């Protein structure tokens, strides 16, 4: 649903919730789908959680929801944060335990699983307001912020750089560290042209490789 034009240059109000009602969860799911749909053909890894996975993220009380709303109460953004890595099924808790043993032992490794803002509300400062709010909470625990981003968001959108700047404002100083990298590979014939339909000669039969 398009937002009223007045929202585009308004301000965002951030609330911090451990639980949300069914209506709010439904609104967040619709916002999630519209926010992440454009990444589907820009990253090899699946960028959209399934409905069941998303509901676990927003309904689990172990996951804190930072929700940005307009002055009239309309939801325009969400960031989720959890210091229980069991709520982040796509990461390895053992990896973070090896990297940050002391912080993980005291519940001070905070993972941001979802971060999104309505496409028509980017000028409200909603994302910066949410990051500033959870940055304050992480600082209070002397903690670590962890997240994952596709290469498109890092290189083109410059999202990692933007978050680094916001965390420096919230903490006074912050270092961005690349913890790991997973590369998606393919082996193509030498005459393959990406983006063009594959051509087969008349009568050619595709045979299995094995």
Judged against a pLDDT cut of 50, whether residue 112 lies above it is answered with yes
Write the pLDDT tens digit of every residue in 118-162: 988 877 899 999 999 999 999 999 999 999 998 888 888 899 999
Q: Is 79:66 a contact under the CB 8 Å cutoff?
A: yes
d(CA 130, CA 42): 25
Averaged confidence pLDDT in the chain: 85
Position 9 scores a pLDDT of 44
Position 113 scores a pLDDT of 93
Class in CATH terms, 5-171? alpha beta
> What secondary structure letter does DSSP report for 2?
P
Judged against a pLDDT cut of 80, whether residue 50 lies above it is answered with yes
- Find, among 97, 134, 141, 140, the residue nearest to 113 by Cα: 134
Averaged over 184-189, what is the pLDDT?
Answer: 90
From residue 109, alpha-carbon distances to 19, 62, 80 in Å are 21, 13, 13
Averaged over 171-186, what is the pLDDT?
Answer: 93
d(CA 120, CA 3): 7
8-12, 141-145, 197-201: which range is least confident on average?
Answer: 197-201
Write the pLDDT tens digit of every residue in 62-99: 999 999 999 889 999 999 999 999 999 999 999 999 99
Position 193 scores a pLDDT of 74
């Amino acid at each position: 649903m398009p937002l009223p034009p007045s929202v585009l240059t308004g301000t965002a109000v951030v609330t911090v919730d451990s639980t949300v009602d069914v209506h709010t969860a439904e609104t967040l799911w619709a916002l999630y789908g519209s926010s992440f749909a454009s990444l589907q053909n820009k990253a090899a890894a699946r960028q959209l959680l399934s409905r069941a996975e998303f509901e676990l993220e927003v309904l689990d009380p172990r996951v804190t929801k930072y929700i940005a709303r307009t002055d009239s109460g309309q939801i325009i953004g969400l960031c989720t944060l959890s210091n229980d890595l069991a709520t982040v099924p796509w990461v390895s808790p053992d990896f973070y335990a090896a990297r940050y043993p002391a912080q993980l032992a005291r519940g001070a490794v905070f993972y941001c699983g979802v971060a999104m803002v309505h496409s028509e509300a980017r000028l409200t400062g909603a994302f910066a307001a949410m990051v500033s709010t959870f940055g304050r909470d992480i600082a209070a625990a002397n903690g670590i912020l962890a997240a994952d981003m596709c290469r498109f968001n890092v290189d083109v959108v410059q999202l990692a750089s933007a978050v680094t700047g916001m965390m420096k404002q919230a903490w006074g100083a912050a270092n961005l560290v690349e913890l790991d990298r997973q590369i998606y590979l393919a082996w193509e014939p030498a005459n393959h042209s990406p983006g063009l339909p594959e051509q087969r000669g008349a009568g050619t039969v595709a045979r299995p490789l094995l």
